[in-house]
Each structure stands twice: as structure tokens, then as C-alpha cells.
């Protein structure tokens, strides 16, 4: 059979921007191969691309650090899902943060919420200072932001909503309107909700960042990050640094994360359904002191959930305080049979951890407790298993960790 170019009659059709989330997730950045018609892109492992004359590459690509077909397609998909003009992918969420902070001149000042992701806190306090960038942390950014701004020095405000691990929310619009009066950019780390549940750029943020490692890839098998934004100036600066610093993901990781992203809406809905079941189960247990879940109407900032999250969804993450202290928290995590005791989040499998002894152990106790991270706090990432099985697992683990502890376990 002779293949000619016109054997394939339909050229690749990019999805129209009016398409909704699920359609974009499946089709954005996923053109059919114009030569073979392959519906799924191949993995472009080639590090270099032929040129027909000096400085005239055959296609769009020259060298894989600068741009690679798989990264290009993944970035297009992220931009579509975050309602952004541009997206850039990085080798991890942390590399994304580092690249954004590197874009600031020496002498710049940053305001951040207090309970940021531990690795972000570490970068802000231990690395940024070496480049002459100072960070001020605020436990109540909506109220304090105007006072914390230093004229001609503050360049960036860093928000995580929901925060980790206490799941408190920030009104992005409220902070952005103050920031924009002073020409300051607002960054929102949207890792905990994913673009299905929240699109920060629609609420006034200038840059949205993700640890793709979590919900977007969703299968706990890729480490990657991404940033999305609308400003062409930010694109020039950040894409320059993406290439100059070179903290870029591999073509294979881009391909895997793009495959994961195609089912994000299904996984995010299921995770929210499961987290709602788990949150209600915990809230009605006598073994539980309190539950932090933005999807419960009892959450102190439920009005923000309703305004900022798709259909008032709470997402797949929650945390709770257990009766019996640190020991009970640790016993609980060892007694679950479906929830695995492990760090990280956002995968198809459910996880539990004790932030005070694991992800947040680096923060001094007083600071930790001031932020609500008590030793008896357990963080839960709900996966996409059956909700009824998760509910039973939570109940039996609570019973073993607290109910029978006085009899069987004095420690
Ligand atoms: C995991 C995580 C990061 C860091 O991402 P890596 O991909 O692990 O480098 C940043 N922010 C949040 C909220 C995270 O959960």
C-alpha cells in the first residue's frame, strides 16, 4: 500500500476552547499524527532534531531541553485546563517554584502564606535568601497583605489554597485585588485541588503552579511540575529560565503525565466523593476531635469553597485530629488496610500520614501547633477505590487505634 499525504483526509483538529473540561482533558495537545494517523502520540526520545540548512530546523524542534514534542503537547493540555495562554513544564513541582523565584531580581521581597508546602518553605527560607530574595510569612494573608507590602520591593505573593495539612482556604480574588494595585504578581499553588476543582487564574491569580506528581499525573509514578499564566512577558522570562536552568521533564514523563491528565476529571470527582464519605464518617465518630475538609458546610471558610471550587467540591484531601494523641495517630495509620501509610497525595490509591512526625517534622513544634498541625493530626489523601470500602476501613482503624487502645496498648 502506498501512503501519500492525502490518504488521511482529516487534518488534526485542535479542540475548540468552548469545549468543556473532560473534552479538553482528552483532546487538548493531542493531535493525531499527521503521517501515520496514530491517535496517541509517540514518545520522542530524540534529543536533537535535523535541520535542512543552518538555523533552519525541519520542524518546530531543535534540542530537547529547549522544546520536545511530548513536553509541547503536555504544556498545551495544561494551558487549556487552567484557562491560560501559556504553560511550562518542569522536572518537579519544586523545580517550578525554584524557577519562578529565580525570575526575581536580587533585593526582591515575597509574601507567602505561613503553611506552605514544606519544600516551598525550605526553598523560601534556605535558598531564596542566598539570591537576595526575602520572604515574609503570614498566617492570615487576606487581612495582613496590605500592611506587609513593601513599596518597590514586594514582587510576588505566594498562596496555597487549600493549605497543607490543615485545609484552610484563601480568597484568591481578595488578595489579588490588593496585589494588583501595587503591580505585584500572585502565584497560587493549585496542587491540592487540581485544575478540575479550581482554576486560580479565573479568580485573579497571575501564575498557577502544580506539582504534577500529585493529581494531574495521578498514578504516583511521575515526578513533574508545571506553571500556567496569561502574560507574554512572563512567558518570555520563564521560558528563558526553563531552558537556561534546564530543570525540564523527560519526554517519557511528559507522555505518562499527559496520559494521566486525560482522566483527571473522573479521578477528581471520585476522590471528592470518597473524601466526602470519609469526612462525614470521621465527623460522626466519638474517636475524632475535629475534621478539616473544605467540602463540609461546617468548614469555617465554606463560603470560599462555594465561590472558588467547581460545584463547591471539596477535593480529595482532608485531615483530622484523633483522640489519644500522637500514639493514636500513628496506630491509626498502621491499622488501615486500604489506606497506605505514605507521604504524597493525589494518586488513585488512598494514603494516610501523620504530618507532625512526617511531612511537617522539620517545622519547630510551637510554629507547627500555631498553624494547627498538632501531633494527633492525620492527613488523608482519598483515592478512587470504592467509598464504602474506605468508610469501613476508617471505622475499623479508628476502633483499633482509639477504641481498644486502653485495653491492648498502653503506649
Ligand atoms: C508535592 C508538592 C510540591 C512539590 O512538588 P514535587 O513534585 O514533589 O517537587 C509543591 N507543592 C505542593 C502543594 C505539593 O503537594
Rg (CA), the chain: 23
Statement: residue 341 has pLDDT above 90: yes
* From 189, 206, 253, 376, active-site residue: 189
Residue 361, pLDDT score: 84
Q: Is the pTM of this model over 0.95?
A: no
221 CA to centre of ligand 1 in angstroms: 14
Domain boundary among 261, 279, 314: 261
* Same structural domain, 54 and 66: yes
The SS3 assignment for 48 reads strand
Q: Which one is catalytic: 61, 115, 117, 196?
A: 117
Residue 309 lies in a domain: yes
Rounded to the nearest angstrom, the distance between the alpha carbon of 151 and the centre of ligand 1 is 30
Cell of 319: 485531615
Q: Answer yes or no: is 168 within a domain.
A: yes
**Does one domain contain both 197 and 284?**
no
Question: What pLDDT shows up at residue 10?
Answer: 45
Residue 130 burial (10 A CB sphere; 0-12, 13-18, 19+): exposed
Active site residue 117: yes
User: 367 near 302, Cβ under 8 Å?
Assistant: no
Whether residue 48 lies inside any domain: the answer is: yes
Highest mean pLDDT among 6-10, 53-57, 364-368, 385-389: 385-389
Determine which residue's CA is closest to atom 6 belonging to ligand 1.
93
Domain interval for residue 344: 265-408
Tens digit of each residue's pLDDT (9 = 90 or more) over 259-272: 999 999 999 999 99
pLDDT score for 363:
79
**C-beta of residue 265 within 8 angstroms of C-beta of residue 285:** no
CATH number of the domain that residue 228 is part of: 3.40.640.10
Domain shared by 198 and 311, yes or no: no
Mean pLDDT across the chain = 93
CATH code at position 389: 3.90.1150.10
In this prediction, residue 19 carries a pLDDT of 81
**65 carries an active-site annotation:** yes
Provide DSSP, 328-342. HHHHHHHH-SSSEE-
Catalytic residue, candidates 76, 214, 331, 368 = 214
Q: What is the pLDDT of residues 112-146, one digit of tens each?
A: 999 889 899 999 999 999 999 999 999 999 999 99
Q: Could you confirm whether 189 is annotated as catalytic?
A: yes
Q: How many residues does the structure list for the chain?
A: 411
17 pLDDT tier (thresholds 50, 70, 90): low
Q: Residues 363-408: pLDDT tens digits? A: 788 888 888 899 999 999 999 999 999 999 999 999 999 986 554 4
Amino acid at each position: 500500500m502506498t501512503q501519500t499525504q492525502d490518504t488521511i483526509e482529516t487534518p488534526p483538529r485542535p479542540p475548540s476552547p468552548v469545549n468543556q473540561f473532560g473534552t479538553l482533558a482528552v483532546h487538548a495537545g493531542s493531535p493525531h499524527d499527521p503521517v501515520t494517523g496514530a491517535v496517541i502520540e509517540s514518545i520522542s526520545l530524540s534529543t536533537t532534531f535535523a535541520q535542512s540548512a543552518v538555523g533552519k530546523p525541519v520542524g518546530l524542534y531543535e534540542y530537547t531541553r529547549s522544546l520536545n514534542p511530548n513536553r509541547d503537547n503536555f504544556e498545551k493540555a495544561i494551558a487549556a485546563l487552567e484557562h491560560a495562554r501559556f504553560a511550562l513544564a518542569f522536572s518537579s513541582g519544586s523545580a517550578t517554584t525554584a524557577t519562578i523565584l529565580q525570575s526575581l531580581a536580587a533585593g526582591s521581597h515575597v509574601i507567602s502564606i505561613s503553611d506552605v508546602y514544606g519544600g516551598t518553605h525550605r526553598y523560601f527560607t534556605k535558598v531564596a535568601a542566598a539570591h537576595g530574595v526575602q520572604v515574609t510569612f503570614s498566617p492570615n494573608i487576606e487581612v495582613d497583605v496590605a500592611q506587609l507590602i513593601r513599596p518597590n520591593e514586594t514582587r510576588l505573593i505566594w498562596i496555597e489554597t487549600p493549605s497543607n495539612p490543615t485545609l484552610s482556604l484563601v480568597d484568591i480574588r481578595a488578595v489579588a485585588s490588593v496585589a494588583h494595585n501595587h503591580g505585584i504578581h500572585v502565584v497560587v499553588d493549585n496542587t491540592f485541588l487540581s485544575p478540575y476543582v479550581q482554576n486560580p487564574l479565573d479568580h485573579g491569580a497571575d501564575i498557577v503552579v502544580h506539582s504534577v506528581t500529585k493529581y494531574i499525573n495521578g498514578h504516583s509514578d511521575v515526578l513533574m511540575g508545571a506553571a500556567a499564566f496569561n502574560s507574554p512577558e512572563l512567558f518570555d522570562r520563564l521560558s528563558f529560565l526553563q531552558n537556561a536552568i534546564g530543570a525540564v521533564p523527560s519526554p517519557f514523563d511528559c507522555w505518562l503525565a499527559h496520559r494521566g491528565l486525560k482522566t483527571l476529571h473522573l479521578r477528581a470527582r471520585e476522590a471528592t466523593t470518597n473524601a466526602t464519605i470519609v469526612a462525614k464518617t470521621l465527623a460522626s465518630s466519638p474517636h475524632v476531635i475535629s475534621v478539616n475538609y473544605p467540602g463540609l458546610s461546617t468548614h469555617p471558610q465554606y463560603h470560599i469553597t462555594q465561590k472558588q471550587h467547581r460545584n463547591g467540591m471539596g477535593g480529595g484531601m482532608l485531615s483530622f485530629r484523633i483522640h489519644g494523641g500522637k500514639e493514636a495517630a500513628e496506630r491509626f495509620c498502621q491499622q488501615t488496610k486500604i489506606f497506605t501509610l505514605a507521604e504524597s497525595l493525589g494518586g488513585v490509591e488512598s494514603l494516610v500520614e501523620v504530618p507532625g512526625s512526617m511531612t511537617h517534622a522539620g517545622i519547630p513544634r510551637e510554629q507547627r501547633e500555631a498553624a494547627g498541625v498538632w501531633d494527633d493530626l492525620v492527613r488523608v489523601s482519598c483515592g478512587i477505590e470504592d467509598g464504602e470500602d474506605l468508610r469501613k476501613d476508617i471505622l475499623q482503624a479508628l476502633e483499633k487505634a482509639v477504641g481498644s487502645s486502653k485495653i491492648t496498648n498502653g503506649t
